[in-house]
């Protein structure tokens, strides 16, 4: 059996792990969320339609009918800006030391950049073009643990992109 140990990825980068910016913006304009706890989970799913006919007992084909990507992560830095991000609201809601809570009609699409370790001691960057925060948040302020802002976001299909990268892209850089 042949294999390459250097292609096994353990852990995340120590710097710039997760940045969130305005939809369509560059990574240089995105805001780093700081420390996260528990990593970043990237869940990909495809729902299939089974093609069945009367003349055959089994399924003769599968046709994709829905594809989805969900991101989950917990922000450990309990800043108003991170709470604002967890709520998925527009950039105008934080003013100085105040976060104004709207009714959600100001929710906006975001672009996210996830930087992690890559194979062969390199780096891997996930860029997802169009993301909307969809999960419920319930920060817990407790004496024996960190207050975390848990975020769940759905990656939407960006029809302004070509068909081969409408959800985003993954880039590896060799060390």
Q: pLDDT above 90 covers what percent of the chain?
A: 45
**pLDDT, tens digit, 9 for 90 and up, residues 125-172:** 999 999 998 877 878 888 998 888 889 999 999 999 999 999 999 999
Domain span at 155: 5-173
> In whole angstroms, what is the distance from residue 118 CA to residue 125 CA?
8
The pLDDT of residue 89 is above 80: no
pLDDT of the residue at 57:
95
Q: What is the CATH number of the domain that holds 53?
A: 2.40.30
The total domain count for the chain is 1
**pLDDT, tens digit, 9 for 90 and up, residues 60-70:** 999 999 999 99
> In whole angstroms, what is the distance from residue 49 CA to residue 64 CA?
6
pLDDT band at 91 (very low <50, low <70, confident <90, very high): low
DSSP state of 82: H
Structure tokens at 14: 């120590």
pLDDT of the residue at 90:
64
Residues 64-93 have a mean pLDDT of 84
Residues 19/30, Cβ–Cβ less than 8 Å:
yes
Residues 65/49, Cβ–Cβ less than 8 Å:
yes
Residues 32/147, Cβ–Cβ less than 8 Å:
no
> In whole angstroms, what is the distance from residue 40 CA to residue 18 CA?
9
| pTM to 2 decimal places | 0.85
């Amino acid at each position: 059996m042949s294999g390459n140990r250097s292609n096994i990825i353990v852990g995340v980068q120590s710097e710039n792990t997760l940045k969130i910016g305005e939809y369509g913006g560059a990574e240089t304009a995105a805001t780093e969320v700081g420390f996260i706890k528990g990593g970043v989970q990237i869940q990909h799913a495809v729902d299939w339609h089974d093609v069945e006919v009367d003349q055959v007992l089994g399924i003769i084909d599968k046709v994709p009918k829905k594809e989805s990507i969900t991101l989950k992560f917990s922000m450990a830095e309990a800043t108003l800006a991170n709470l604002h991000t967890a709520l998925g609201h527009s950039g105008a809601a934080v003013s100085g030391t105040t976060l104004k809570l709207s009714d959600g009609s100001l929710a906006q699409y975001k672009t996210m950049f996830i930087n992690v370790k890559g194979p062969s001691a390199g780096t891997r960057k996930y860029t997802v073009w169009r993301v909307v925060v969809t999960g419920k948040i319930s920060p817990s302020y407790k004496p024996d643990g960190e207050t975390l802002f848990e975020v769940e976001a759905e990656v939407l299909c960006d029809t302004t992109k070509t068909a081969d990268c409408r959800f985003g892209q993954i880039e590896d850089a060799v060390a």
